[in-house]
Amino acid sequence: MTDSATDLLSKHDVVLADLDGTLYRGQLAVPGAVEAVKAARERGVPTSYVTNNASRRPSDVAAHLAELGYPAGDGDVVTSSQAAAAMLAKQLPAGSRVLVVGTDALAAEVVGVGLAVTERAEDAVAVVQGHSPDTGWRLLAEASVALRAGAVWVACNLDSTLPTERGLLPGNGAMVSVLRVATGREPQVAGKPAPGLLYSAVERTGAKAALMVGDRLDSDVEGGRAAGLPTLLVLTGVSDPAELLAVPPALRPDYVDADLGALTRAPEELAPGVRPGWGARVTGHGALTLTADGGTDPLDALRTLCSVHWGAGGGPAVVTADGPDAARALRALGLAGADASSATVGGVDGAPSLADGARRPTGTDNAGAHS
């Protein structure tokens, strides 16, 4: 463990943490995450729980976190429904009527900022859209009429899918696409990767040096970068080593590690870069070879591969191993001989994967269907 005076946590005054895949999977806490959050708080660095979940009230989210052992109160939770309501309040006079495509929790946030809720397109000056498993054609049709008449449109998030115990299902972004096609319009976006949600969390905490932590490159990391925050990707949820290697510049994290244990490691150990004991060379367009010279940590191999591949232009890649140690690392990362643009995480030939469960179906944070 790194000296606490020089570890990653020492550089920050608040942790902005994504939920599902980062802190919990459905009804279970991610191993080690509760201890990491508690240890950070004991050192004076609180966690603000930042979620694209627009289907549940902050109090319900906080209660779930507390049940799992996290130090969480209602005021520690920042949701995309809150951010969406705040966006509307800045644009509309008090008492303006809003058509809510979403749950009662989203409607409550709208009312809470001094606006009113209506079910009629003719009365609506705005439409706010968040995930609800009960959204149907009639409500989407009503929203379409309002939008064609010029109503303000705010979407809580654009997550196209949400992970569930049955696999990936349509998320809020999929339903937003219905209205895009029907109206030819584009919504304002409150949740990640738009920066508004993270701006709200920073403002609420008064943080001067916040760290964004999440498991998704396309919302958590992209959102953190859009908000001008350093980002840590943990491989406990959706994004995997293959996706990380192929990711475009706007979605590249500052730090990468297996889990929230990263908070007590030195920043330079976590940043993508050539790590001791590992080497990588470009052998063709999108082709890399990994070499091992005493390296034992597959994540250091991944950091090395990212550094070399990104420096050569990035994009989809195929990685091959030079020697048995390099081969073991690639198997552990789920990169063994696979196209990095489509590889799935999992061990090969019986080798355990570092990211086992990273693409395992979970209850969702990003669109809020289950957890």
Q: Beta-carbon neighbour count of residue 351 at 10 Å?
A: 18
Dihedral (CA of 142, 145, 151, 155) sign: positive
Measured between alpha carbons, how far apart are the two ends of the chain, in Å? 32
- For residue 20, indicate whether it is catalytic: yes
Q: Who contacts 190 (Cβ-Cβ below 8 Å, separation ≥6)?
A: 80, 81, 83, 84, 86, 87, 154, 155, 156, 157, 196, 197
Which is catalytic among the residues 7, 20, 215, 218?
Answer: 20
**Two tokens at 321?**
């191993």
Alpha helices in 130-271 (DSSP H): 137-148, 172-183, 196-205, 222-226, 241-246, 267-270
Which is catalytic among the residues 18, 215, 218, 254?
Answer: 18
Q: Of all helices (H) and strands (E), which one includes residue 213?
A: strand 210-214
**Two tokens at 283?**
């052998």
Cα atoms in the 13 Å half-sphere on the side-chain side of 67: 11
Give the closest residue to 280 by CA, choosing from 315, 317, 240, 239. Answer: 317
* CA gyration radius, the chain: 21
Q: Which residues are catalytic?
A: 18, 20
